[in-house]
Amino acid sequence: MLIIGIAGGTGSGKTTVVNQILNQLPDNEVGIISQDSYYKATDNLSYEERTKINFDHPRAIDFELLVNHLMTLKSGDYIDQPIYSFVTHNRSKDTIKTHPKKVIIVEGILIFNNQKLRDLCDIKIFVHADADERLIRRVKRDIQERGRDINEVLSRYQDTLKPMHEQFIEPTKNFADIIIPNDRYNTVAIDIVRTVINEKLT
Ligand SMILES: Nc1ncnc2c1ncn2[C@@H]1O[C@H](COP(=O)(O)OP(=O)(O)O)[C@@H](O)[C@H]1O
Ligand SMILES: Nc1ccn([C@@H]2O[C@H](COP(=O)(O)O)[C@@H](O)[C@H]2O)c(=O)n1
C-alpha cells in the first residue's frame, strides 16, 4: 500500500488538491483518510466548552488512533473510521468501515507534525497558499459550509489559527518531498502527482 500525505494550512486547498488527484484515478484503488475525522472525542464537554477548544494545536488530534488505523490498513485489515461534525465540534457515534486500497491519501493541517505519521508516508506533499488567500477562503467556506459567522471565524483566526499555523504547520513544510503552490489552480503540479501515483499503481 502506498501512503501519500497531504499537509498545508487551513484553506490552502488540500481537499481540492485531493479531489483533483482522485479525478481520473480508479476510485476502487484510492482511499482517503482525513485528519479532521480524528479530532479527539469530547463527550465530557458541553457544546459551549467545545467551542473554546484550540482545534489547530496537535493535542486536539488523536494521532495514536490515526497512526494505528493507517498501520491496520497497511497490514490488510479494515478500520472503523470515526466521523467528525464541525457543527457539534465532536465525533458522531457512527463510524465508516474503511477497507485497505492500493493507495491511501491522508490529508490534514498537522499530519507532518507527528513523526510516526510522517514516517508512514511514502510521499509527503505540502500545499502552500499565502496567509491572506487562506483567510479569505476560510471565511467564505466556514460561513457557507460550516455554519459559522464572520466574528467566529475572525476571532478564531487571530486567537489560535494564525499562531498555531506559524508554530506547528508552516515549519513542517521542510519535511515535504513536493510543495504545491496553490494561490492559483496548479494543474501542472497535480498532473505530476497523478503520474507518480499511476506509476506506483501499475
Ligand atoms: N487554487 C485555488 N484557487 C481558488 N480557490 C481555491 C483554490 N483551491 C481551493 N480553493 C477554494 O478554497 C476553499 C478551501 O479549499 P479546501 O480545499 O477546502 O482547503 P483545505 O482542505 O486546505 O482547508 C474552498 O472553497 C475551495 O474551493
Ligand atoms: N470543530 C472544529 C474543528 C476544526 N476546525 C478547524 O478546521 C481546520 C482544519 O480543517 P481544514 O479542512 O481547513 O484543513 C482547523 O484550522 C480548525 O481550526 C473548526 O473550525 N471547528
The string of pLDDT tens digits covering residues 33-65 is 999 999 999 999 999 999 999 999 999 999 999
Say how far apart CA 8 and CA 13 lie, in whole Å. Answer: 8
- Dmax (CA) for the chain in angstroms is 50
The sign of the dihedral angle between the CA atoms of 146, 151, 154, 158 is negative
Residue recorded with cell 497523478: 194
- CA of 61, nearest ligand number: 2
pLDDT in tens, 125-164: 999 999 999 999 999 999 999 999 999 999 999 999 999 9
State the pTM of this model: 0.96
**197 or 80, higher pLDDT:** 80
Q: Residues of the chain with pLDDT > 70: what percent?
A: 100
pLDDT at residue number 18: 95
- CB–CB of 31/25 below 8 Å? no
**Cα(78)–Cα(31) distance, rounded to whole angstroms?**
12
**Ligand 1: residues within 6 Å at CB?**
8, 10-16, 137, 141, 182, 184-185
- Name the residue at shortest CA distance from atom 4 of ligand 2: 55
Task: Quick: pLDDT tens for 62-78.
Answer: 999 999 999 999 999 99
Q: Does the pLDDT value for residue 200 go beyond 80? A: no
Domains and CATH numbers, the chain: 2-201 (3.40.50.300)
DSSP per residue, 100-126: --SEEEEE-TTGGGSHHHHHH-SEEEE
Ligand nearest to the CA of 53: 2
pLDDT band at 26 (very low <50, low <70, confident <90, very high): confident
Using most ligand atoms within 8 A of CB, pick from 6, 12, 16 the residue to mutate for ligand 1. 16
Q: Could you tell me which residues are beta bridge partners of residue 22? A: none
User: ipTM score of the complex?
Assistant: 0.97
Q: Which of 196, 192, 178, 173 is nearest to 2 (CA)?
A: 196
